[in-house]
A and B are shown apart, each in its own frame.
Chain A
Amino acid sequence: MSDTETRKRLWSVSEKLIRKRLAVVAARASAFGLRFFKLGQGQSLPGRIALKVDPQILAHLAGPLEVVLISGTNGKTTTTALLASGLERSAPTITNAGGSNMTGGIVSALIDGISQNEAARFAALEVDEIYLTPVCRDIVPKAIVLLNLSRDQLDRTQEVRKIARRWKALLGEFPGVKIVANADDPLVVFAALEAHDVTWVAGGISWTEDSLGCPVCTGRITFSGGSWSCDCGFSRPEVSWQLSGDSVVTTPEGTISLGLSIPGAFNVRNSVMALAGCACLGVAPELSKNGMALVNSVSGRFQTYPLLGTDSHVMLTLAKNPAGWVELIAMVDSWVKDRAIVIGLNARLADGRDPSWIWDVPFEVFAGHSVVVCGERATDMALRLRYAEVDALVVPDTYSAIVVASKRSSDVVVLANYTCFQSIRKDLERIGPRNGFAGTLVGVGKYLAKGRK
């Protein structure tokens, strides 16, 4: 190698290092700025700035870490939280707990995580279904957990099958990556067809409307007795991880029993996916399950908040597409008797601009009950409910809607889609007494202002 070549190469190496440093500094400065000016919600901005300075930043940051990516339509955030908490029992773990799951948000989370713990060994990262391909190409993870695919934000994703095809092409590119896949979802199984090292988990499926047409041939998939198959031979693979009963998990190495703190049968199945994900990174279920038991709410999901100025308690739940709603309806069904229900609907970019999907949710099961409806698309939701013979009171402002509901019952359950959920959560957290004296003052002011309207 000539002298000039060596110099060139050295220069390019140091240029790369400098770029990375600069990118991290820029990201941290912007994160500090966001916090300082209380701009909130800007989780992805520092990452996006870092990406501008160094387009390779994701690969640089993830390089020293053992990464597991989690993707799918529903349960990403909860499964990621469970998985991260499971891994944490073995070694320090970085995660994007805020739910910022596109490239910029993931870069932000990694920069943040590494600055807090340079000894971190694992990263458990939730990734948007469409962003799985670019993120995976940069990071090259050790494992990927694929949860499920169903209709969601169709104005953005266009077709569910398109995502399945993208995933399939992606997994063909990375034969060395360990895949944890939900054997109960035909579209996930289709996506994993090209993968070499797959752990099949009985992850459950409650919404089959998007996978009735076979993704392999043009035939029909029939579901029966917990299994499914098509005449072309495409069928549910043999699983090695599954739930037996309510909380006992059969693993390839024997059975263990779970002790989750979060409610819902779907979360139990999410935790089986998470256990298998931890095992791919060498953390045994006996250890990881202890971490999972510590998770008691995930970014406000299933969190109960006191409602200021009342004796009421408000439980917050995310319901953002038909599959998610169908999972929740089983729980809500038992709630409607003695609790007040609030349903919130927005249709911003992150929710999907077209809320036609509310017509796919079997709200008819609430017929005869009364619901308070809020959010920017409250009228759409109220009319949907009225046609289902559910009485619906429209109170567009989310906080006022909760206050109105609390007069019906001191136990309030709020079910809202993504941006509506986030704004309600912000209200409840800011107003709750746990934010100290100043927070309480702001909350009292807000409560009084809203009460007067």
Chain B
Amino acid sequence: MGDSISIVTVYPDLLGTYGDGGNAKVLAARLKLRGIAVTSLEVRSSDPLPAGADIYLVGGGEDSPQVEASKILSRTRVLHRAVENGSYVLAVCAGLQIFGEYFVDSEGNDVPGLAILDCRSSKMPGARAVGELLVKTEIDGKEELIVGYENHGSSTQLGPDAKPFSRVVVGVGNSRTAKTDGIRYKNVIATYMHGPVLARNAELADSILRGVFGELPAIADRSLSNLARQLHRERVAAALKSRKAKSVGRATVGLPGRER
């Protein structure tokens, strides 16, 4: 892929329902702002997935497209090789579930995933997890608050040696009992956070970029950096406020929505 940093968004036609396509836009823009060359590709499921990209982004999707994406990715094994070769991967929600050993389809059947990550997902007991998700995790040696939005009906159980991505401060994450969100393995970060997570957390975006590029020059556009920091602050504050405001069964059941 030449001299520029290559970013591949995996199957946005199947895994692009929850706005996670924004992660690629943020990464590409933050490279461009620093004068670093970047090639960002959105690869649909009808086209071959290129091997050897620096960064792969896998987003959230609906139940049946998720099953289809898992089938194709299991067959081609591009992501298996990429992870072994040290490519960076950010997998969100359905993306997280696909990377595990099993997940469930809309009928509740177990569907085999890529088995790259040591985790399995099953139907979550109780209400769907919907709302702000605030976690603590270590980024480049520093403890950081990362904030996103979760919207999922499955919970994810990690294997005994698997390392969660973060500890949950507000929200559900992997499950209501584990108090962790996501999973880290090699250069893979998997999480339940939409938002998109890299738009809300520029630190996380830059940590992925540092992994690929090495030390990054500063972004000259101060107002953009300030705006990114402000969004992070606002969402962290909103998540903390939402913890105070809501009790356990906050997700909607039955016919949701209030009339105006």
Contact = CB atoms under 8 A, between A and B. Distances in A.
Interface stretch (A168-176, A194-202, A207-215): A207-215
Interface stretch (B64-72, B167-175, B182-190): B64-72
Contact of B260 (A44, A158, A162, A209): A44
A388 to B, nearest CB: 8
Contacts of B16: 209, 360
A105 interface: yes
A103 B14 CA distance: 33
A151 interface: yes
A19 interface: no
A360 B13 contact: no
A128 B195 CA distance: 25
A158 B128 contact: yes
Contact of B19 (A44, A356, A422): A356
B256 A356 contact: no
Interface in A7-37: none
Given A220-B46, A357-B19, A384-B22, A48 B259 contact: yes
A156 interface: yes
A153 B18 CA distance: 10
Contact of A213 (B21, B65, B228): B65
Contacts of B252: 156
A259 to B, nearest CB: 32
Contact of B62 (A43, A128, A161): A161
Nearest to A213: B65
Interface in A366-397: 379-380, 382-384, 386-388, 394
Contacts of A128: 257
A353 interface: yes
Nearest to B149: A354
A349 B18 CA distance: 17
B18 A356 contact: yes
B234 interface: yes
Contact of A359 (B14, B149, B199, B231): B199
B164 interface: no
Interface in A173-202: none
A387 B257 contact: no
Given A158-B151, A354-B151, A360-B19, A384 B62 contact: no
A43 B258 CA distance: 12
Given A218-B64, A356-B149, A350 B17 contact: no
A350 B227 contact: no
A295 B151 CA distance: 39
Q: Which of B153, B223, B255 has most chain A Cβ within 10 Å?
A: B255
A65 B128 CA distance: 39
Contacts of B230: 379
A393 to B, nearest CB: 10
Contacts of B65: 213
Nearest to A128: B257
A131 B199 contact: no
Contacts of A382: 227
Nearest to A382: B227
B188 to A, nearest CB: 21
B1 interface: no
Interface string A80-107: 0000000000000000000110111100
Contacts of A159: 17, 62-63
What range describes how many residues of A lie at the interface?
A: 35 or more
A427 B68 CA distance: 48
B255 A353 contact: no
A190 to B, nearest CB: 12
B227 A386 contact: yes
B37 interface: no
A100 B230 CA distance: 35
A25 B27 CA distance: 59
Contact of A360 (B21, B128, B131): B21
A209 B29 CA distance: 23
Interface string A143-170: 0000000010111111111100000000
Contacts of B13: 209, 212-213, 220
Contact of B257 (A99, A350, A360, A386): A350
B130 interface: yes
Interface in B1-43: 12-14, 16-22, 25-26, 29
Nearest to B202: A383
A291 to B, nearest CB: 27
B95 interface: no
Interface string B187-207: 000000011100100000000
Contacts of A358: 19
B45 interface: yes
B224 interface: yes
A130 interface: yes
Given A131-B255, A156-B256, A387 B29 contact: yes
Nearest to B26: A387
Nearest to A391: B223
Q: Which of B199, B255, B257 has most chain A Cβ within 10 Å?
A: B257
Closest 7 CB pairs of A and B: A356-B19, A359-B22, A44-B259, A212-B13, A213-B65, A354-B149, A387-B29
Interface of B: 12-14, 16-22, 25-26, 29, 44-46, 62-65, 67-68, 71, 128, 130-131, 149, 151, 153, 194-196, 199, 223-224, 227-228, 230-231, 234, 252, 255-260
Given A41-B260, A156-B252, A353-B149, 14 more contacts: A44-B259, A104-B259, A130-B257, A153-B257, A159-B17, A213-B13, A218-B64, A218-B67, A350-B258, A356-B18, A356-B195, A380-B199, A383-B227, A388-B25
